[in-house]
Amino acid sequence: MGALRSLSAAREMLSLGEDAYLELASLALHRAHELEGGEAPIHAFLSLVEEPPRFRAELSPAGGAAASRLAGVPIAVKDNICTLGLPTTCGSRLLEGYVSPYAATAVRRLEESGAWVIGKTNLDEFGMGSSTENSAFGPTRNPADRKRVPGGSSGGSAAAVAAGVVPAALGSSTGGSIRQPAAMCGVVGVKPTYGRVSRYGLVAFASSLDHVGVFARSVPDAAAILGVVVGVDRRDATSRPRDPGPVSTSTAGEPSEALRGRSIGVPAEYFGDELDDGVRQVAERALDTIGEAGARLIPVSLPSTATALSCYYVVAPAEASANLARFDGVRYGRRATGGRTLSETYLRSRGEGFGDEVKRRILLGTHVLSARQYEAYYLRALELRRHVHEDFRRAFRTVDALFAPTTPTVAFRLGEKRATPTEMYTADIFTVAANLAGIPAMTIPIGNQGGMPVGGQLMCAAWEEEKMLGIAAALETCLEYVHPLAGEA
Amino acid sequence: MAPRHRFSAADVRRAAALASLALSSEEVERFADELARVLDGFEWVESSGPPPEVVSRDRHLEPGLRSDAPDSDTLHKPPSELAPDWRDGFFVVPRLPALDR
């Protein structure tokens, strides 16, 4: 059985009707099961549907006016995004077996467009991590090298797309959990502007930083999925009231036309000492390509980059400590036995249900919000978040977009950083700032280093997804680099 | 190298109590050391300058919130319209078997 490479390949197959739909569904499910086997399974999925939903002829590509561009397309969904029928565990023992009574808005919009959810993908527990090793159900492995992590926290979604199980997947990002695994697995990952995609049905980690976004194997595919899930949703108070409309990539004309005359900012702070030499070389080659296509490369400075990571690791745990209070074994979650009082039941349920990283962040968040620490840490972090905003505002007054590497290194080995939380946190050093500022940002594969994918990051001003995707599509074409599917290198 | 910040076992126990989190004594010691090292990375608290002046206020580029105006909602209906069965101002629920014993 083969792999599913793109939306266009899926649509071409689906245009042949119901038999082709069943064949494609069978192919995707077979591929998913195939990758779960062997001595070192990819373990991208925590749950899979047993069989696809019935064929909807009216939505198929041959179905006339009502035809939907996603009809019959299998999509994977990160397991902290609520779906009907499949469990939503957030990678936590505490929510093992939990089935949501409603579907997230992003999922519902995909299903209304004819797509179907093939399964729920593995993640760091509640989205807290950068390697998908913090899942209570075991780590996901990188399809490019099964001894390495896929990044995180949306490592299962990135791996499912990279391995060709599905052409696209939903993920979530609080500090880089879409761009970082996309870079490490060699796929496209898009985090939209805060408020552009509804967070209704996304299990909250840090509400002011949480985003729903997409993975795909090409920029046009990512744009197609994003175009379906964006839009105002009254169920999410942060959903933007005047959404600028659906996103698309301009495919007219030569790809270099989309880059000619553009000003691309190159932030010096993203090319510092912490950047691996191999990743630097790949990123600099991508910059050469951008310049050769006619764009102006402009050095810029984002001075708050150095403090953004610390700012993030105050704000995110603080919000997490409040959001995760609901998981107490009574309102939600597995209830511990043996508690003699309600309070003891809460303590035991949470103590037994949460993993180490979640406990660490709840403790840190509770500490920085406590009476003696609130001003020193939390309020200071909020002030510094304004520095991050202002850095970007200043930069986008002179440039159309920013380009930088997504991660300081390629995917690291399983277990390499797990024992040292502070080292693990540095994997997010180039991604947290865009979450703090709420601006759109994305990863595209730009090359490889020692056989491992390297991702380049584009960032634009808020609500400028269309511009960002247009530049990314042009760069993707100019670079002519697509990371091979697992087993095809 | 030992962490420069102090995050004592008592600090961990205090935060754990506030967060309703049962921890073993091994966890308390380990988290105290790990969180002290995390706080070591927060030197910016002392070293950073005042927050910057806001250089622009382009509302189009600002993530926003929808207005906090009341909206039509099923919960705005009287409870009698939501209840499967409603008598004399009360919801009617299945009778508890214990009452029949």
Contact flag A367-B63 (C-beta cutoff 8 Å): no
- Residue A364's contacts (CB-CB under 8 Å, 6 or more residues apart) are A313, A314, A317, A321, B15, B35, B38
Does A302 touch chain B if contact means CB atoms closer than 8 Å? no
pLDDT per residue as tens digits for the range A236-284: 989 887 666 667 776 555 666 789 999 999 999 999 999 999 999 999 9
A98 — alpha (psi -120 to 50), left (phi > 0) or beta? beta
Does B16 touch chain A if contact means CB atoms closer than 8 Å? yes
Contact flag B66-A237 (C-beta cutoff 8 Å): yes
The interface pTM score, or ipTM, of the predicted complex is 0.89
pLDDT at B60: 47
Rg (CA), chain B: 27
pLDDT at B91: 87
Is the separation of the CB atoms in A436 and A211 below 8 Å?
A: no
pLDDT at A324: 97
- Mark which residues 74-93 of B lie under 8 Å from A by CB: none
pLDDT per residue as tens digits for the range B28-41: 999 999 999 998 87
- Mark which residues 350-389 of A lie under 8 Å from B by CB: 350-352, 354, 359-360, 362-364, 366-367, 370, 376-377, 380, 383-384, 386-387
- Residue A143's contacts (CB-CB under 8 Å, 6 or more residues apart) are A35, A42, A150, A159, A162, A163, A185, A485, A486
pLDDT at B6: 77
- Residue A21's contacts (CB-CB under 8 Å, 6 or more residues apart) are A14, A52, A55, A60, A72
pLDDT at A274: 92
Nearest Cα to A130, choosing from A431, A347, A450, A464? Answer: A431
In this complex, the residue of A348, A370, A461 whose CB is nearest that of residue B61 is A461
In this complex, the residue of A328, A386, A422 whose CB is nearest that of residue B52 is A386
- Cα separation of A458 and A444, whole Å? 8
Sign, CA torsion A139/A144/A146/A149: negative
- Cα separation of A255 and A478, whole Å? 7
Distance from CA of A465 to the nearest CA of B (A): 12
Instruction: Give the residues of chain A that fall short of pLDDT 50.
Output: 1, 489
Contact flag B61-A463 (C-beta cutoff 8 Å): yes
pLDDT per residue as tens digits for the range A107-140: 999 999 999 999 999 999 999 999 999 999 999 9
Is the separation of the CB atoms in A282 and A406 below 8 Å?
A: no
* pLDDT tier at B15, thresholds 50, 70, 90: very high
Does A33 touch chain B if contact means CB atoms closer than 8 Å? no
pLDDT at A181: 98
pLDDT at A331: 86
The pLDDT of residue B55 is above 50: no
- Cα separation of A425 and A225, whole Å? 29
DSSP A202: B
Looking at beta carbons, which residues of chain A come within 8 Å of B31? Answer: 359-360, 363
pTM of the model: 0.90
Contact flag A384-B48 (C-beta cutoff 8 Å): yes
pLDDT at B56: 47
Is the separation of the CB atoms in A167 and A5 below 8 Å?
A: yes
pLDDT at A252: 53
Does A347 touch chain B if contact means CB atoms closer than 8 Å? yes
Is the separation of the CB atoms in A162 and A169 below 8 Å?
A: no
